[in-house]
Amino acid sequence: MRYFITFIICAVLISMSSCRKDFSTIPNFGSLEFSKDTVFLDTIFTNIGSATYNLKVYNRGNKAITIPKIALENGTSSNYRLNVDGIPGKEFNDIDILGKDSLFIFVETTIDVNTTTDPLYTDRILFDTGSNQQDVDLVTLVQDANFIFPDRNPISMKIDSLTFDGQPTTIKGRFLTDAELTITNSKPTVIYGYAAVPANKTLTIEAGSKVYFHSNSGLIVDNKSTLKVNGTLAEKVTFEGDRLENRFSQTPGQWGTIWMRAGSKENEVHHAQIRNGIIGILIDSIGSTSTPTLKLQNTEIYNHSNFGILARETNIEGHNVVIGSAGQASLAATIGGTYNFTHSTFANFWNNGIRQLPAVLVNNFFIYNDANGQEITETRDLKAANFTNCIFDGNNNIEFILDKVDGGLFNYNISNCMISFIDANNSFAGNIEMDILNNSNYQDIILNGFANFKNTQNEDFIIGQDSDAINKAKATQFNLDILGVDRTVNPAIGAYQSIIFD
pLDDT tens for the chain, residues 1 to 502: 444 444 444 444 444 444 445 557 788 888 899 999 999 998 899 999 999 999 999 999 999 999 999 999 999 999 999 999 889 999 999 999 999 999 999 999 999 988 887 889 999 999 999 999 999 999 999 999 999 999 888 777 788 999 998 999 999 999 999 999 999 999 999 999 999 999 999 999 999 999 999 999 999 999 999 999 999 999 999 999 999 888 899 999 999 999 999 999 999 999 999 999 999 999 998 766 678 999 999 999 999 999 999 999 999 999 999 999 999 999 999 999 999 999 999 999 999 999 999 999 999 999 999 999 999 999 999 999 999 999 999 999 999 999 999 999 999 999 999 999 999 999 999 899 999 999 999 999 999 999 999 999 999 999 999 999 999 999 999 999 999 999 999 999 999 999 999 8
From CA 85, how far away is CA 15, in angstroms rounded?
Answer: 6
CA distances from residue 203 to 13, 184, 240 in whole angstroms, order as listed: 48, 11, 18
Give bridge partners of residue 121 from the DSSP assignment. Answer: 140
Question: Residues 119, 73: contact at Cβ < 8 Å?
Answer: no
Show the beta-strand stretches assigned E in 33-149. 33-34, 38-45, 53-59, 65-72, 80-84, 87-89, 91-97, 101-109, 120-127, 134-143, 146-148
What fold, for 26-143?
Answer: Immunoglobulin-like (2.60.40)
Measured on CA atoms in the order 24, 26, 27, 28, is the torsion positive or negative? Answer: negative
**Would the CA dihedral through 8, 150, 230, 280 be positive or negative?**
positive
* CA end-to-end distance (rounded Å), the chain: 46
DSSP 8-state secondary structure symbol assigned to residue 10: H
Where in the chain are the domains?
Answer: 26-143, 146-463
The angle formed by the CA atoms of residues 82, 86 and 87, to the nearest 5 degrees, is 55
Within 10 A of 130 (CB to CB), how many other CB atoms are there? 7
Instruction: Pick left, alpha or beta for residue 330 (phi over 0 → left; psi -120 to 50 → alpha; otherwise beta).
Output: alpha
DSSP H or E run through 14:
helix 4-16
Distance of alpha carbon 191 from alpha carbon 213, whole angstroms? 5
> Residues 64, 23: contact at Cβ < 8 Å?
yes
